[in-house]
Amino acid sequence: MIVKFSTRAGALTMHGEAAVALLRAMGHSGAVPGAILAPELPEALANLRKALETQADLPAPAQTEAPEDDDEERGNAPPPVTLRMRAVPLIDMIEPRLGPDVGARLKAVRTLATLLLPALALLLLGAHFGRAGLMPVAAACAVMVGLLFVRNPWSARIVQGVLALGAVEWLRTAWVLVSARAAMGQPYGRLLIILGTVASVTLAAALALRSSPARDHFRTGR
């Protein structure tokens, strides 16, 4: 079976099994004939790229044919065509349909999503210090949010350090409040769960700054 991919940018034919494998990697059912609508192309291309991160060097499915060569000839056979080799011309055909700025927009969205958790953790930490009357510390937390948009390695290190200290502060606060409630014979289970969760989220926000989108954003080494 031969499958034909076509867009306004061009057309591409491929053996059916390899084509179905690529379609499924794109999030399509693999049913042929079928269609991927224009609004779905960015997500389909992102799915394909993600699949290639782990499957790129796997041999692409090919048409099953009865072997005709003897053992010696098979030993001299060329290496198999990988999934990446099959995917490259398909990606080259799809990308012109997305426009030149789609990749940059997708990267920007991933970066903003990565920075959202640290920003929320810093604002929550600032609110905590503000409620305690430590307004200069609360203001410093707000400044840290601004540092998230300074694209330098030192910005990431400073914010990571503040978030790590913030997680320790939430644990300290939990210890103080739980001890006080326990001394008065009041329930403290819910309080411990809430503050423990906030401390965990704050630590996760610090670790998020070591992710690939954050490293690209802050231009830190891998």
End-to-end CA distance of the chain: 44
Average the pLDDT over 16-30 and give the result. Answer: 79
163 shares a domain with 200: yes
22 shares a domain with 109: no
What's the confidence (pLDDT) of residue 47? 83
Q: Using the predicted structure, report yes or no on whether residue 81 has a pLDDT greater than 90.
A: no
Q: Are 181 and 187 in contact (CB under 8 A)?
A: yes
111 shares a domain with 70: no
Picking from 36, 66, 99, the residue at the C-terminal end of a domain is 99
Q: Using the predicted structure, report yes or no on whether residue 39 has a pLDDT greater than 80.
A: no
Report the chain's C-alpha Rg in angstroms: 26
77 shares a domain with 139: no
Total domains in the chain come to 2
Average the pLDDT over 47-62 and give the result. Answer: 68
What's the confidence (pLDDT) of residue 135? 95
81 shares a domain with 169: no
Residue 56 or 192, more confident: 192
Mean pLDDT, rounded, of the chain = 81
124 shares a domain with 86: no
Measured in residues, the chain has a length of 222
What's the confidence (pLDDT) of residue 64? 44
Residue 54 CB-density burial (10 A; 0-12 exposed, 13-18 middle, 19+ buried): exposed
36 shares a domain with 16: yes
112 shares a domain with 175: yes
Measured between alpha carbons, how far is 21 from 63 in angstroms, rounded to an integer?
A: 12
What's the confidence (pLDDT) of residue 63? 46
165 shares a domain with 111: yes
Residue 59 or 71, more confident: 59
What's the confidence (pLDDT) of residue 166? 96
135 shares a domain with 71: no
pLDDT band at 74 (very low <50, low <70, confident <90, very high): low
**Percent above pLDDT 90 for the chain:** 42
Residue 73 or 2, more confident: 2
112 shares a domain with 95: no
What's the confidence (pLDDT) of residue 89? 77
pLDDT digits (tens, 9 = 90+) for 103-162: 566 777 888 889 999 999 999 999 999 999 999 999 999 999 999 999 899 999 999 999
pTM for the full predicted model:
0.54
Picking from 99, 122, 148, the residue at the C-terminal end of a domain is 99
Picking from 56, 73, 99, the residue at the C-terminal end of a domain is 99
What's the confidence (pLDDT) of residue 120? 96
What's the confidence (pLDDT) of residue 221? 60
42 shares a domain with 7: yes
Domain span at 38: 2-99
- Whether the ω angle into residue 33 lies within 30 degrees of 0, i.e. cis, is yes
pLDDT band at 59 (very low <50, low <70, confident <90, very high): low
Q: What residue type is assigned to position 1 of the chain?
A: M
Q: Using the predicted structure, report yes or no on whether residue 65 has a pLDDT greater than 50.
A: no
